[in-house]
Structure 1
Amino acid sequence: MKPILLLFIFVSTLFATQYSVIISKKVDVGTLSAQQVRDIFLQKRHSLGNQKIIPLNLVGQEPSRIAFETDVLGMGRDRLNTYWIKQHFQGITPPITQPSHESIKAFVQNVEGAIGYIPSSMVDNSVKVLYEF
Protein backbone atom coordinates (compact mmCIF):
# COMPACT_ATOMS: atom_id res chain seq x y z
CA MET A 1 0.00 0.00 0.00
CA LYS A 2 2.80 2.45 0.85
CA PRO A 3 4.49 2.18 -2.57
CA ILE A 4 1.18 2.99 -4.30
CA LEU A 5 0.64 6.01 -2.06
CA LEU A 6 4.18 7.25 -2.67
CA LEU A 7 3.74 6.81 -6.41
CA PHE A 8 0.46 8.77 -6.30
CA ILE A 9 2.11 11.63 -4.37
CA PHE A 10 5.05 11.71 -6.80
CA VAL A 11 2.81 11.73 -9.90
CA SER A 12 0.48 14.42 -8.50
CA THR A 13 3.37 16.73 -7.63
CA LEU A 14 4.96 16.06 -11.01
CA PHE A 15 1.82 17.17 -12.86
CA ALA A 16 0.63 19.81 -10.40
CA THR A 17 0.29 23.25 -11.90
CA GLN A 18 2.77 25.74 -10.56
CA TYR A 19 2.04 29.42 -10.35
CA SER A 20 4.24 32.48 -10.44
CA VAL A 21 3.70 35.85 -8.81
CA ILE A 22 4.73 38.38 -11.45
CA ILE A 23 5.45 42.08 -11.85
CA SER A 24 6.48 44.30 -14.76
CA LYS A 25 10.06 43.98 -16.00
CA LYS A 26 10.34 47.76 -15.50
CA VAL A 27 10.14 47.46 -11.71
CA ASP A 28 13.54 47.15 -10.04
CA VAL A 29 12.90 44.48 -7.40
CA GLY A 30 14.24 41.01 -6.70
CA THR A 31 12.39 37.94 -5.50
CA LEU A 32 10.01 38.11 -2.56
CA SER A 33 9.39 35.85 0.40
CA ALA A 34 6.05 34.18 1.00
CA GLN A 35 5.42 36.61 3.88
CA GLN A 36 6.09 39.64 1.68
CA VAL A 37 3.68 38.33 -0.98
CA ARG A 38 1.10 37.61 1.72
CA ASP A 39 1.43 41.15 3.10
CA ILE A 40 1.00 42.64 -0.39
CA PHE A 41 -2.15 40.68 -1.19
CA LEU A 42 -3.66 41.31 2.25
CA GLN A 43 -3.04 45.06 1.69
CA LYS A 44 -0.61 45.29 4.61
CA ARG A 45 2.20 46.42 2.31
CA HIS A 46 1.66 49.02 -0.40
CA SER A 47 5.09 49.47 -1.96
CA LEU A 48 8.31 47.75 -2.91
CA GLY A 49 11.05 50.26 -2.36
CA ASN A 50 9.84 53.44 -4.04
CA GLN A 51 7.38 51.58 -6.29
CA LYS A 52 3.70 51.70 -5.33
CA ILE A 53 2.17 48.29 -5.99
CA ILE A 54 -1.27 47.21 -7.17
CA PRO A 55 -2.18 43.61 -6.27
CA LEU A 56 -4.42 41.69 -8.69
CA ASN A 57 -6.56 38.66 -7.98
CA LEU A 58 -8.71 36.35 -10.08
CA VAL A 59 -12.47 36.45 -9.68
CA GLY A 60 -14.51 33.60 -8.23
CA GLN A 61 -13.53 30.02 -7.66
CA GLU A 62 -10.65 29.62 -10.12
CA PRO A 63 -8.34 26.75 -9.05
CA SER A 64 -5.30 29.05 -9.06
CA ARG A 65 -7.09 31.55 -6.80
CA ILE A 66 -7.98 28.78 -4.36
CA ALA A 67 -4.37 27.51 -4.45
CA PHE A 68 -3.08 31.06 -3.89
CA GLU A 69 -5.42 31.70 -0.97
CA THR A 70 -4.54 28.37 0.64
CA ASP A 71 -0.82 28.06 -0.12
CA VAL A 72 0.32 31.69 0.02
CA LEU A 73 -2.24 33.56 2.10
CA GLY A 74 -2.78 30.60 4.42
CA MET A 75 -6.54 31.18 4.54
CA GLY A 76 -9.62 29.38 3.34
CA ARG A 77 -12.38 31.30 1.58
CA ASP A 78 -14.52 31.83 4.71
CA ARG A 79 -11.63 33.14 6.77
CA LEU A 80 -10.52 35.41 3.94
CA ASN A 81 -14.04 36.80 3.50
CA THR A 82 -14.17 37.58 7.24
CA TYR A 83 -10.76 39.28 6.97
CA TRP A 84 -11.95 41.54 4.12
CA ILE A 85 -15.16 42.43 5.94
CA LYS A 86 -13.10 43.62 8.92
CA GLN A 87 -10.71 45.51 6.62
CA HIS A 88 -13.63 47.21 4.87
CA PHE A 89 -14.54 49.00 8.10
CA GLN A 90 -10.99 50.37 8.23
CA GLY A 91 -11.18 51.66 4.67
CA ILE A 92 -8.98 48.90 3.21
CA THR A 93 -10.18 47.19 0.04
CA PRO A 94 -9.22 43.80 -1.41
CA PRO A 95 -7.02 43.48 -4.50
CA ILE A 96 -8.43 44.41 -7.90
CA THR A 97 -9.97 41.38 -9.60
CA GLN A 98 -9.42 40.27 -13.16
CA PRO A 99 -11.42 37.69 -15.15
CA SER A 100 -8.49 35.59 -16.40
CA HIS A 101 -4.78 34.87 -16.20
CA GLU A 102 -4.36 36.55 -19.57
CA SER A 103 -5.90 39.77 -18.26
CA ILE A 104 -3.68 39.66 -15.16
CA LYS A 105 -0.61 39.27 -17.35
CA ALA A 106 -1.68 42.12 -19.65
CA PHE A 107 -2.42 44.38 -16.65
CA VAL A 108 1.01 43.62 -15.18
CA GLN A 109 2.71 44.31 -18.52
CA ASN A 110 0.94 47.67 -18.96
CA VAL A 111 0.60 49.08 -15.45
CA GLU A 112 3.81 49.69 -13.59
CA GLY A 113 3.59 48.30 -10.06
CA ALA A 114 0.80 45.81 -10.81
CA ILE A 115 1.46 42.41 -9.26
CA GLY A 116 -0.49 39.22 -9.86
CA TYR A 117 -0.18 35.47 -10.30
CA ILE A 118 -0.40 33.31 -13.40
CA PRO A 119 0.46 29.70 -14.28
CA SER A 120 4.23 29.40 -14.57
CA SER A 121 3.74 28.08 -18.10
CA MET A 122 2.56 31.59 -19.13
CA VAL A 123 5.71 33.33 -17.90
CA ASP A 124 7.88 34.82 -20.63
CA ASN A 125 10.42 37.63 -20.88
CA SER A 126 7.72 40.32 -20.71
CA VAL A 127 7.29 39.89 -16.93
CA LYS A 128 9.49 39.29 -13.90
CA VAL A 129 8.86 36.41 -11.48
CA LEU A 130 8.91 37.43 -7.82
CA TYR A 131 7.70 34.23 -6.17
CA GLU A 132 6.58 30.72 -7.17
CA PHE A 133 4.09 28.45 -5.48
Structure 2
Amino acid sequence: MRSIGLRVLLSLVAGVLSASAHADGPIAVIVAPLHADVRLDADDLALIFRRKRQYWNDGSRIQPANLAVDNAQRIAFSRAVLGADPAALDDYWNEQYFRGVRPPYVVDSNEAMLRFVAETPGAIGYVDACLAGNGVAIVGYLDGGGHWHRSRSAPTPC
Protein backbone atom coordinates (compact mmCIF):
# COMPACT_ATOMS: atom_id res chain seq x y z
CA MET A 1 0.00 0.00 0.00
CA ARG A 2 2.77 2.39 0.88
CA SER A 3 4.56 1.92 -2.47
CA ILE A 4 1.34 2.75 -4.34
CA GLY A 5 1.08 6.04 -2.47
CA LEU A 6 4.71 6.81 -3.23
CA ARG A 7 4.19 6.02 -6.93
CA VAL A 8 1.15 8.30 -7.05
CA LEU A 9 3.08 11.09 -5.32
CA LEU A 10 6.05 10.70 -7.69
CA SER A 11 3.69 10.71 -10.66
CA LEU A 12 2.05 13.93 -9.45
CA VAL A 13 5.42 15.59 -8.88
CA ALA A 14 6.60 14.55 -12.35
CA GLY A 15 3.39 15.95 -13.86
CA VAL A 16 3.82 19.27 -12.10
CA LEU A 17 7.47 19.52 -13.14
CA SER A 18 6.76 18.72 -16.77
CA ALA A 19 3.86 21.18 -16.84
CA SER A 20 6.03 23.94 -15.42
CA ALA A 21 8.72 23.22 -18.01
CA HIS A 22 6.31 23.43 -20.94
CA ALA A 23 6.24 26.62 -22.95
CA ASP A 24 2.69 27.86 -23.55
CA GLY A 25 3.04 28.31 -27.29
CA PRO A 26 5.45 28.58 -30.19
CA ILE A 27 8.83 30.16 -29.55
CA ALA A 28 10.12 32.66 -32.11
CA VAL A 29 13.84 32.92 -32.75
CA ILE A 30 14.63 36.59 -33.20
CA VAL A 31 17.64 38.54 -34.42
CA ALA A 32 18.74 42.14 -34.58
CA PRO A 33 17.24 43.85 -37.65
CA LEU A 34 20.61 43.99 -39.44
CA HIS A 35 20.53 40.18 -39.72
CA ALA A 36 16.88 39.81 -40.74
CA ASP A 37 17.86 38.00 -43.94
CA VAL A 38 19.82 35.21 -42.22
CA ARG A 39 18.64 31.66 -42.91
CA LEU A 40 19.10 29.26 -40.02
CA ASP A 41 18.22 25.64 -39.48
CA ALA A 42 18.09 23.74 -36.17
CA ASP A 43 21.75 22.70 -36.48
CA ASP A 44 22.79 26.33 -36.94
CA LEU A 45 20.89 27.27 -33.78
CA ALA A 46 22.63 24.52 -31.81
CA LEU A 47 26.04 25.72 -33.00
CA ILE A 48 25.22 29.32 -32.13
CA PHE A 49 23.80 28.59 -28.68
CA ARG A 50 26.70 26.25 -27.85
CA ARG A 51 29.06 29.04 -29.02
CA LYS A 52 30.57 26.81 -31.72
CA ARG A 53 29.56 29.35 -34.38
CA GLN A 54 30.51 32.84 -33.26
CA TYR A 55 30.26 35.00 -36.38
CA TRP A 56 27.56 35.93 -38.85
CA ASN A 57 28.34 35.61 -42.56
CA ASP A 58 29.22 39.33 -42.69
CA GLY A 59 31.95 38.80 -40.08
CA SER A 60 30.13 40.43 -37.16
CA ARG A 61 30.06 38.63 -33.82
CA ILE A 62 26.96 36.64 -32.90
CA GLN A 63 25.60 37.59 -29.46
CA PRO A 64 23.23 34.80 -28.33
CA ALA A 65 20.99 35.33 -25.34
CA ASN A 66 19.01 32.91 -23.19
CA LEU A 67 16.14 33.35 -20.82
CA ALA A 68 16.64 32.32 -17.17
CA VAL A 69 17.47 28.66 -16.48
CA ASP A 70 14.08 27.93 -14.92
CA ASN A 71 12.05 29.72 -17.62
CA ALA A 72 9.64 27.34 -19.43
CA GLN A 73 10.59 28.77 -22.83
CA ARG A 74 14.29 28.28 -22.13
CA ILE A 75 13.70 24.69 -21.04
CA ALA A 76 11.65 23.96 -24.16
CA PHE A 77 14.19 25.74 -26.40
CA SER A 78 17.15 23.90 -24.83
CA ARG A 79 15.43 20.54 -25.13
CA ALA A 80 14.49 21.11 -28.78
CA VAL A 81 17.68 22.80 -30.00
CA LEU A 82 20.42 21.52 -27.69
CA GLY A 83 18.89 18.19 -26.73
CA ALA A 84 19.19 18.79 -22.99
CA ASP A 85 17.70 20.74 -20.12
CA PRO A 86 19.62 23.92 -19.24
CA ALA A 87 20.84 22.49 -15.92
CA ALA A 88 22.21 19.42 -17.73
CA LEU A 89 24.48 21.73 -19.76
CA ASP A 90 26.37 22.98 -16.67
CA ASP A 91 29.30 20.59 -17.26
CA TYR A 92 29.50 21.65 -20.91
CA TRP A 93 29.65 25.34 -19.97
CA ASN A 94 32.20 24.72 -17.20
CA GLU A 95 34.46 23.02 -19.74
CA GLN A 96 33.92 25.78 -22.31
CA TYR A 97 34.61 28.48 -19.74
CA PHE A 98 38.05 27.02 -19.06
CA ARG A 99 38.69 27.16 -22.82
CA GLY A 100 37.86 30.87 -22.82
CA VAL A 101 34.33 30.49 -24.21
CA ARG A 102 31.58 32.20 -22.24
CA PRO A 103 27.96 31.01 -22.30
CA PRO A 104 25.26 33.14 -23.93
CA TYR A 105 23.96 36.18 -22.09
CA VAL A 106 21.00 35.57 -19.80
CA VAL A 107 18.04 37.94 -19.57
CA ASP A 108 15.11 37.80 -17.15
CA SER A 109 12.03 38.07 -19.35
CA ASN A 110 10.60 38.13 -22.86
CA GLU A 111 10.53 41.93 -22.67
CA ALA A 112 14.21 42.05 -21.68
CA MET A 113 15.02 39.64 -24.52
CA LEU A 114 13.22 41.85 -27.04
CA ARG A 115 15.16 44.90 -25.82
CA PHE A 116 18.49 43.05 -25.78
CA VAL A 117 18.08 41.71 -29.32
CA ALA A 118 16.76 45.01 -30.70
CA GLU A 119 19.59 47.04 -29.15
CA THR A 120 22.57 44.67 -29.43
CA PRO A 121 24.36 44.34 -32.77
CA GLY A 122 24.59 40.70 -33.81
CA ALA A 123 22.11 39.52 -31.16
CA ILE A 124 19.96 36.40 -31.41
CA GLY A 125 17.46 35.13 -28.88
CA TYR A 126 13.99 33.70 -28.53
CA VAL A 127 10.64 34.81 -27.13
CA ASP A 128 7.01 33.81 -27.03
CA ALA A 129 6.16 33.99 -30.74
CA CYS A 130 3.12 36.17 -30.09
CA LEU A 131 5.30 38.84 -28.45
CA ALA A 132 7.84 39.24 -31.26
CA GLY A 133 7.31 42.58 -32.93
CA ASN A 134 8.90 45.85 -33.91
CA GLY A 135 12.63 46.23 -33.48
CA VAL A 136 13.46 42.55 -34.04
CA ALA A 137 13.25 40.15 -36.96
CA ILE A 138 11.85 36.64 -36.74
CA VAL A 139 13.99 34.04 -38.52
CA GLY A 140 11.94 31.01 -37.52
CA TYR A 141 10.06 29.38 -34.70
CA LEU A 142 9.77 26.21 -32.68
CA ASP A 143 6.28 24.79 -32.56
CA GLY A 144 4.75 23.19 -29.47
CA GLY A 145 6.35 19.86 -30.41
CA GLY A 146 9.83 21.39 -30.61
CA HIS A 147 10.03 21.26 -34.41
CA TRP A 148 11.90 24.03 -36.22
CA HIS A 149 10.13 26.09 -38.90
CA ARG A 150 12.05 28.58 -40.98
CA SER A 151 9.69 31.53 -41.29
CA ARG A 152 9.83 35.32 -41.24
CA SER A 153 6.59 35.66 -39.29
CA ALA A 154 5.02 34.30 -36.14
CA PRO A 155 2.70 31.35 -36.56
CA THR A 156 -1.02 32.03 -36.48
CA PRO A 157 -3.06 32.49 -34.43
CA CYS A 158 -1.40 34.83 -32.02
Pairwise TM-score range, normalised by the shorter structure:
0.7 to 0.9
List gaps (5 residues or longer) in structure 1.
1-14
Deviation digits for residues 1-59 of structure 1, max 9, x if unmatched?
A: xxxxxxxxxxxxxx951001101112253231000011001000111112211000112
How far apart, CA to CA, are the structure 1 residues paired with 2:130 and 2:120?
A: 21
Q: CA RMSD in A?
A: 1.7
Is the aligned partner of 1:76 residue 2:85?
Answer: yes
Code of the residue aligned with 2:45 in structure 1: it is V
Count residues with an aligned counterpart.
Answer: 119
The offset of 1:81, in angstroms, is: 1.0
**Larger strand proportion of the pair:** 1
Residue aligned with 2:46, SS: helix
Give the alignment's TM-score, normalised by structure 1. 0.82
How far apart, CA to CA, are the structure 2 residues paired with 1:24 and 1:85?
A: 28
Number of the residue aligned with 1:49: 57
Higher RCO (C-alpha 8 Å, min separation 6):
1
Is the aligned partner of 1:31 residue 2:39?
Answer: yes
How far apart, CA to CA, are the structure 1 residues paired with 2:111 and 2:36?
A: 23
Number of the residue aligned with 2:123: 114
List gaps (5 residues or longer) in structure 2.
1-22, 143-158
Code of the residue aligned with 2:124 in structure 1: it is I
Number of the residue aligned with 2:67: 58
